[in-house]
Amino acid sequence: MTDFIVLLRGINVGGHKKVPMAELRALAGELGFGDVRTYIQSGNLLFSSDFSSEVVEADLEAALQRRFGFPVDAVVRTVEQWRVYAAGSAFPEAAAERPHLVMLGLSRRPPLPDAEGRLQAAAAAGERVVCRGDALWFDFAGGSARSKLTPALLERAAGSPVTTRNWRTVLKLAELAQGG
């Protein structure tokens, strides 16, 4: 069995793409995933499975489409991979000062080699971008609401769907994965 953390992209935002967490947990159970848990309403799913990451991604996306009638991108990581992210932000001083403005960005596939440069070139107002392994890290020093680093730009730069979680959520998911 492998323990997974899956981030669903763009659900329950502004009343769009509504996926109730109880229904998500039930759906994951129907797919044969074990010890299914969710964290907050933004589509953070934890579970164990004998399936590969690729099978988890494909099965979950297909089931979400069937059940809710709209596509949902799933970004799948193992708990072991998640531990690396939670071990330290690329911006430790910012994470300590403003954990809600330091974001971990994960793309479905490894980011394109020039993703960091393309995103940093579009950054404004003190925003910083770092690519570390398969993760994009963002410091939205002035907030992300008016950032030019839009979801569409992130996706184009990375080369596949991207979803972000703030540093607090990264740490909480790591804690939950440890049984906390």
Runs of H (alpha helix) within 31-178:
53-68, 79-86, 92-97, 115-122, 151-158, 167-177
User: What's the pLDDT at 22?
Assistant: 95
28-57 per-residue burial string, b: 16 or more CB within 10 A, e: under 16: beebebeebebbeebbbbbbebebebeebb
Query: Is 113 within a domain?
Result: yes
pTM of the model: 0.94
Q: How far is CA 40 from the centre of its chain?
A: 13
- 72 and 103 part of one domain: no
Query: Is 136 within a domain?
Result: yes
CATH code assigned at 131: 3.30.70
Query: Is 174 within a domain?
Result: no
Boundary-marking domain end, from 81, 109, 142: 81
Q: Which domain holds residue 76?
A: 2-81
Boundary-marking domain end, from 32, 52, 81: 81
When divided into structural domains, the chain yields a total of 2
User: What's the pLDDT at 38?
Assistant: 95
**What CA–CA distance (Å, rounded) separates 118 from 153?**
9
User: What's the pLDDT at 180?
Assistant: 57
- 109 and 161 part of one domain: yes
Query: Is 172 within a domain?
Result: no
User: What's the pLDDT at 15?
Assistant: 73
Query: Is 105 within a domain?
Result: yes
Q: How far is CA 69 from the centre of its chain?
A: 21
Q: What is the pLDDT along the chain (180 residues), one digit of tens a residue?
A: 999 999 999 898 777 899 999 999 999 999 999 999 999 988 999 999 999 999 999 999 999 999 999 999 999 999 999 999 999 999 999 999 999 999 999 999 999 999 999 999 999 989 999 999 999 999 999 888 889 999 999 999 999 999 999 999 999 999 999 985
- 96 and 117 part of one domain: yes
CATH code assigned at 47: 3.30.70.1280
- 77 and 92 part of one domain: no
**What CA–CA distance (Å, rounded) separates 77 from 2?**
10
